Amino acid sequence: IINNQASQNEFHSDRQTKPVVGPAPHKMTNGNTELKFHECAVEFRHTNQEQSHVLLNIIEVYQDVMFGKGHMERCPRTTVENPGEYLQFGMNFLKVWIHYQAASHDFLPPGFDAKYEKYEMIIDHGNVTIEALYYPGIVRALDTLSQLVTKDKTKDKIFVIKYAPITIEDSPSYPYRGLMLDTSREFFFPDTIKQLIDGMMLARLNVLHW
């Protein structure tokens, strides 16, 4: 999903009046404020006391999804601690706060239940607050955030979140959402299978039968 036009929200019309997220969340409210920020004026933080390599990997992937591959190399930690030039001309410093209560360090939950993918997200005044119980909920929230972040059409490396403040509450209507791939009867190139998995991610399917 990295460098994918659909995941980067590049197909949306300027005539729309509210955020478009797919699949549509259960509850969403929005305003009409626009948040602009430089790609290097973004910080991800989590409130769990334990350092989770799983969460750090998730964040790294979605930074590349939102801002393009190699985001962490272009914007090392020192630029976040000293944003300086990135806050000129009314730009925001975007802080993404992740609150989670993962029962274990395992990415996959112990079973199929809507609560494992449930999340809440609030975007307001340069802050994005995400609350989830398990890692899959964090993934769904960051996937939604990646759809809300769009490139500015006039300035390089500037990104926009439109229609703030935004509040979202979401969980899957069906906990088991699968797709079957039968490679014993038909040949698929590896790149095709990878594209299929990316499509499953965008459609928020959670089971691949292979």
Task: Kindly report the CATH number assigned to the domain that includes residue 144.
Answer: 3.30.379.10
Same domain membership, residue 93 and residue 72: yes
Same domain membership, residue 157 and residue 55: yes
Same domain membership, residue 200 and residue 151: no
**Residue 175's pLDDT is what?**
86
From the number of C-beta atoms within 10 Å of its C-beta (0-12, 13-18, 19+), residue 202 rates as middle
Same domain membership, residue 90 and residue 106: yes
In a domain, 1, yes or no: no
**Residue 94's pLDDT is what?**
92
Same domain membership, residue 76 and residue 136: yes
Same domain membership, residue 189 and residue 90: no
Same domain membership, residue 189 and residue 101: no
Same domain membership, residue 66 and residue 146: yes
pLDDT means over runs of 10, the chain (210 residues) = 54 72 94 93 81 83 91 73 67 89 63 87 95 90 96 90 97 91 93 92 89
Same domain membership, residue 197 and residue 168: no
Of 72, 73, 92, nearest to 83 by C-alpha is 92
In a domain, 14, yes or no: no
In a domain, 155, yes or no: yes
| Structure tokens, 171 | 């969980």
The pTM score is 0.84
In a domain, 3, yes or no: no
What does each C-alpha distance from 45 to 51, 96, 181 come to in angstroms? 11, 6, 37
In a domain, 9, yes or no: no
The residue segments making up the domain with residue 42 are 27-172
